[in-house]
Each structure stands twice: as structure tokens, then as C-alpha cells.
Amino acid sequence: MKTILALCLVLCAGLAMGGEPAAPAATAAAAVKGEVLEVKDVESYSYLRLKTKDGEVWAAVAKAPLKKGATVTIENPMTMTNFESKSLKRTFPTIVFGNLAGAAASPAAGSMANPHGGTAKLADIGDVHVPKASGADARTVAEIVAKSAELKDKTVVVRGKVVKYNGGIMGKNWVHLRDGSGAAADNSNDLLVTTANETQVGAVVVAKGIVRTDKDFGAGYAYKVLVEEATLQK
């Protein structure tokens, strides 16, 4: 599977940091090719103003050493509208997110259109053993995965260690949590959480959010279970 955005599967000082509203739905399109007219680098991403056959286009890719005048191709692009970047303090009426052709995916950025998957590797954090959160809504990672149909659209609280983090993608930060429950064989040991809060790999956090099932982000990225609109606390 080709990777796109980081994202990016996608959440740093990159695209639209925490606290901002989620961007409108993205749409997939053919590869975008153009001449670089302007480059704006932030911590993990490069914003590019491109001259294409269809006119000027703003795009965002995992940070790359690009210069004005270079010709680039952005593969598997997804176009988003009214996207706010707090790091640049501007809103783009339209912007294309994708992978720079010929460039390896950034480990920090991951797969930008598939922020919860892609080729970015999970952190090597060793065995994870995290105590279960307390309270009536507390669940382990494995319980949320196994009981996703029962928990659909309900609030849950889960404590886990951050094993992967992609910030500021599609107006959200994307966090993978593990607590030692479940098994890798059936993916019941890993839970995707989307949030406006920032965190970092290796941190142990308590996430409170709403269970969603059969979520389709478009471009072939569909997921059986995740927790959305989460708040994170240590």
C-alpha cells in the first residue's frame, strides 16, 4: 500500500496543531505535478506553493529539502478545504496533502493521509504493562476492540502508553495506545485515538473519548474501531 501524508494516516509544529476544529472531508485525486514557487518549512512538514497545469496549488508533504524551481510530483493526493494551520497562522481555502514521489515516509510524520497506519513504524518501547483506568467507563484496549459493537457511540476511558503519534493531520492528532492487553495476532492490543491534545511517544496517558466503529476516512482507509474526540490526561 502506498503511503500518503503522515498520515498521517494523519496528527508537532506541522499541520494544524491541537485545539483547532477538524477539517472538512478530504477527497482523493490523481497525482499532482508542478514547479515549486514557494516553500514554507515547519517542524515536520513542508508547505509548497506549486505551479501546475491547472494553476497554482498549495500542498503539504513530510518535511523535505526542496528549493524554489524544483519540479515535484505528489502521489495519492487528498484535497481538503478551509484547512487552518496554526503554525503558519493562516487558513488555506484548499490544500493538497500527499507523499512526495521518490521520498521515504518520515518516521515522525508517518503516512499523512493514513495517519493511523502506513509505513511509519511503532516505537520500540518494549513490553507494555499499564494499569487499567478507574471509573464506570474504564476499559482496557482489548475490551474496547472486542466489545466495539456494544460500546459504539459510547464514552470510554482507557489508560495506555503512546506507541505512535502523528500530529496535526486533518485537523487532529493521531495516537496509538497500548496497555498490555489483547494480542498482536488479531490487532486487539492496539487502539487508535484521535484528539486535539498533544502528546509524545512513550508517554502514559488516560484518554476519554467516544467509540466509533466502521469509520471510513476515504481513499480506502477504513477502520473497524477507534476512539474519537478524546481528551488526554497524564
DSSP string of 43-112?
A: SSEEEEEEEETTEEEEEEEE-----TT-EEEEEEEEEEEEEEETTTTEEEEEEEEEEETTPPPPTTT-EE
**C-alpha closest to that of 204 among 132, 148, 147:** 132
Contacts (Cβ under 8 Å, ≥6 apart) of 184: 190
Q: How far apart are CA 16 and CA 91, in angstroms?
A: 9
Phi, psi torsion values for 185, nearest 5 degrees? -60, -35
What is the distance between the alpha carbons of residues 185 and 194, in angstroms, rounded to a whole number?
23
> ∠ CA(183), CA(189), CA(192), 5° rounding?
150
Which one of 57-66, 163-172, 214-223 scores highest in mean pLDDT?
A: 57-66
Confidence of residue 227 (pLDDT cuts 50, 70, 90): very high
Q: Is the pLDDT of residue 83 over 70?
A: yes
The CA distance from 124 to 106, in Å, is 16
| pLDDT score for 114 | 45
Q: How confident is the model at residue 147 (pLDDT cuts 50, 70, 90)?
A: very high
Rounded to an integer, the average pLDDT of 134-142 is 97
If one compares 60 and 104, the residue with the highest pLDDT of the two is 60
- Residue 10: half-sphere exposure toward Cβ, Cα within 13 Å: 40
Distance separating alpha carbons of residues 157 and 218, to the nearest angstrom: 27
For the chain, the C-alpha Rg in angstroms (whole number) is 18
Q: What is the mean pLDDT of the chain?
A: 78
Say which range, 94-98, 165-169, 182-186, has the weakest mean pLDDT.
165-169
Comparing 42 with 162, the larger pLDDT belongs to: 162
Structural domains of the chain ordered from first start:
5-112 (2.40.50), 141-233 (2.40.50.140)
Q: Does 215 score more than 50 pLDDT?
A: yes
Instruction: Please determine, for residue 23, whether its predicted confidence score (pLDDT) is greater than 60.
Output: no
User: Phi-psi bin for 19: left (phi > 0), alpha (psi -120 to 50), beta?
Assistant: left
Q: In this predicted model, which residue has the larger pLDDT, 108 or 61?
A: 61
- Mean pLDDT, residues 69-93 taken together: 86
- Is residue 188 pLDDT above 60, yes or no? yes
Write down the pLDDT at residue 125: 61
Is the pTM higher than 0.75?
Answer: no
- What average pLDDT does range 53-72 have in this prediction? 90
**Mean pLDDT, residues 139-167 taken together:** 95
Least-confidence region, from 1-15, 68-82, 102-116, 213-227: 1-15
